[in-house]
Structure 1
Amino acid sequence: MKGLLSVAALSLAISEASAHYIFQQLSVGGTKHGVFEYIRQNTNYNSPVTDLASNDLRCNEGGASGANTKTITVRAGDSFTFHTDTPVYHQGPTSIYLSKAPGAASSYDGSGPWFKIMDWGGPNWNLASSYTANIPSCIPDGEYLLRIQQLGIHNPWPAGIPQFYISCAQIKVTGGGSVNPSGVSIPGAFKATDPGYTANIYNNLQSYTVPGPAVFSCGANGGGSNPTVPEQPATTLATSTRPATQPTAPSCTVAKYGQCGGQGFSGCTTCASGSTCNQANQYYHQCL
C-alpha cells in the first residue's frame, strides 16, 4: 500500500508540473499573433524561476537574447494582451514591466532599468488566460522589452519557495512622449523579506502588497491605467495594501488545474466536469 501511495504521489507531482503555464502569445491591435512570434522562447519548458539572484528573472531561462524573435510596433497609449497556454492557477500577483533597449530589443539582455506599468494584486487573485494593459502614452519612442511576471505564492515561505512565471515580448514604441521613468534592476527588485514574497495565503490573508516598485503612471491621460482581464468574471482588482472585494461568482466550479481545497482554503471545492480534486499537499488540492 505504501508503494502504491508513493506512485500516486509521484504521478500527481508530474501532472502538476506538466500543467504549469507560460505566457507565449501577444495580441496587439486586436490581432493575436503566433506562439513565440514576438515573445522570447524560454528553454525550461513551463517551469518557474525561483532564484532571486538569477538573471533568468528578467526574461526567463533562455530569454537573454531575442535574436530569433520578431519585434512588433505598438503605439504609445495603445493596449496589448499576453496569452497563456494554460490558465494561471497558482494564487499570487501578476505584474507588467518595461525596459528601454539602448538599441534593438532583439539584442538587449534586460540589464538596464525596469519600470512597472501594471499590477493585478490580491488577496482576490485574478487567475486568467489573458492579461491586457496599455503602453504608457508619455514614454519615449524606441524599442523595449515588455515583461509579464506572475508570482505563485501557493507554497508558503519559508517551507516553500515562491515561483516566478515570466515572459518578455519585444516591442517598438511609436508616437510617445519624453518622460523617462526611473527603474529598478532585475535581479535585485525582489527580496526574500518582501511582505508580498513571504505572505501566507492560508493564514487569513486580508491585504497584500505586490513585490517590486510602485506602478508608473503618466498621469490622468497616461497609459498603464485600468486593466482588463478577458475570460474572467468581473472582479475588483487590488493594486495596493487595501483588501480587495470580489462579487459572488454565478456558479461555484473550479476549472481544471485550479485549487479546490487545502488547509485554510475557503474557495470552491467542486471541480469542473472531466476533472476531480486531488491532494498535492496539506495546503494545496488541485482539480486534475
Structure 2
Amino acid sequence: MLAASLIAIASLFVGQAAAHGGVTSYVIDGTNYVGWSPYNSASGQRSIGRPYSSYDPIMTTSAGSFSCNNNGQASGGQLSAQVRGGSKVVAKWNQWTHAEGPVMVYMAKCPGACTSANSNSLDWFKIAETGLISGTLAKGQWGNGLIMKDLAYTATIPSQLADGEYLIRHELLALHQANTPQFYPECAQLILTGGGGVNPPSRYKVRFPGAYSMTDPGVRVDIYSQQAPSITTYQIPGPAVWKGESS
C-alpha cells in the first residue's frame, strides 16, 4: 500500500512538471547561456537565470514569489550576461503545453549589483508583449501558442536604455482554465553597456507583486464563456511597452 501511494505521488509530480514549463536557457546576440535547472540541486549551479524550484504555476497576483518565481534572491553561483543596447534576447523553454494567454517581457534596473538585489523591491518596465494575435478569445492565436510552437521568444533590449545591471523577466500567463489564471515568470541577470542613457519614465514602472490584480480584465478571463467566440480583443495586463521615450 505504501509503495503504491509513493508511486501515485511521484506520478502526480511528474505529471505536473510535464504539464507546464519554464525558461531554461537564453541566446543573446548568438551566445548561448545556461538557464536555471529547477529540478536539479541548487548546489553548484552557475547560471544567469535566477533560481526557481519548479514548473508549477503561481496562482495569485499577491504571491511573494511573483517577481521571479522565487524569494527574490540570487543564487549562490549567480552569473550575469553582458549585453549591449539593441541586443536580441531569445528565451528558450524546454516544454510548454498551454496555447491560450499572453507572453510578457519586463526589465528592472538594479540599484547596484543585481546579485545583491531583491527582485521584489525593483521597479519593472515592459519591453515586449504578445497577446491575442488573431481570432477570438475562444478560438484565437495567442502569444502562448507561439511558445508551444517554437519553445522560444525573442525580445530586443531597447537601444535607448541606460547602462547598468538589470534583471530581465519573461512571464507566461496561461488562460486555459476559466477565471483561474496561471502565472509562469522566470528571471535572468544582465549587465548592459552601449546603451543610450535613458531611464523609463515612472508611468511605465510597476512592482511585483502589485502590478496586477486578480480582477484585472486581462487576468480574470473565461475563454469558454458564451461571449468568448465573439470577442476579438484582449487587454494584456500591466503597463504599456516602453519604446524608448524619456520623461
Instruction: Please report the TM-score for the alignment, with normalisation by the length of structure 1.
Output: 0.67
- Give 1:209-220 correspondences, 5 Å limit: 209-218=235-244
Q: Do the aligned residues in 2 keep the contact of 1:190 with 1:212 (CA within 8 Å)? A: yes
Distance in structure 1 (CA, Å) of the matches to 2:33 and 2:62 = 32
Shift of 1:14: 5.5
**Which shifted more, 141-150 or 56-65?**
56-65
Q: Do the aligned residues in 2 keep the contact of 1:69 with 1:106 (CA within 8 Å)? A: yes
* Residue 149 (structure 1) aligned with residue 159 (structure 2): no
* Residue 124 (structure 1) aligned with residue 134 (structure 2): no
Letter of the 2:142 partner, please give it.
W
1:2-48 C-alpha deviation (Å, 9 max, x unpaired): xxxxxxxx9996664121101121111212222322111202x1111
Shift of 1:102: 0.4
Instruction: Name the structure 2 match of 1:73.
Output: 82
Letter of the 2:234 partner, please give it.
Y
Moved over 6 A (4+): 10-13
1:128-181 C-alpha deviation (Å, 9 max, x unpaired): 210001001111100001000000111111xxx211111101000101122211
Shift of 1:213: 0.5
Instruction: Name the structure 1 match of 2:188.
Output: 169
| Structure with more of its chain in strand, by fraction | 2
Letter of the 2:184 partner, please give it.
Y
**1:177/1:46 Cα in 2 relative to 1: closer, same or farther (>3 Å)?**
same
Distance in structure 1 (CA, Å) of the matches to 2:79 and 2:209 = 25
- Give 1:133-144 correspondences, 5 Å limit: 133-144=155-166
Instruction: Name the structure 1 match of 2:23.
Output: 23
Instruction: Name the structure 1 match of 2:198.
Output: 179
Letter of the 1:125 partner, please give it.
W
Distance in structure 1 (CA, Å) of the matches to 2:75 and 2:221 = 34
- Give 1:183-202 correspondences, 5 Å limit: 183-202=205-224
Q: Do the aligned residues in 2 keep the contact of 1:63 with 1:168 (CA within 8 Å)? A: no
Instruction: Please report the TM-score for the alignment, with normalisation by the length of structure 2.
Output: 0.78
Letter of the 1:46 partner, please give it.
Y
Letter of the 1:103 partner, please give it.
G
The total of aligned residue pairs comes to 208
Q: Do the aligned residues in 2 keep the contact of 1:57 with 1:166 (CA within 8 Å)? A: yes
Shift of 1:61: 2.3
Shift of 1:113: 0.9
- Any unmatched runs of 5+ in structure 1? 1-9, 223-288
Distance in structure 1 (CA, Å) of the matches to 2:17 and 2:74 = 25
Q: 1:56 aligns with which of 48, 65, 82?
A: 65
Q: Do the aligned residues in 2 keep the contact of 1:24 with 1:83 (CA within 8 Å)? A: yes
Instruction: Name the structure 1 match of 2:98.
Output: 89
Q: Do the aligned residues in 2 keep the contact of 1:56 with 1:64 (CA within 8 Å)? A: no
Letter of the 1:58 partner, please give it.
S
Give the match's secondary structure for 1:17.
helix
Instruction: Name the structure 2 match of 1:229.
Output: none
Give the match's secondary structure for 2:218.
helix
| Structure with more of its chain in helix, by fraction | 2
Distance in structure 2 (CA, Å) of the matches to 1:48 and 1:63 = 16
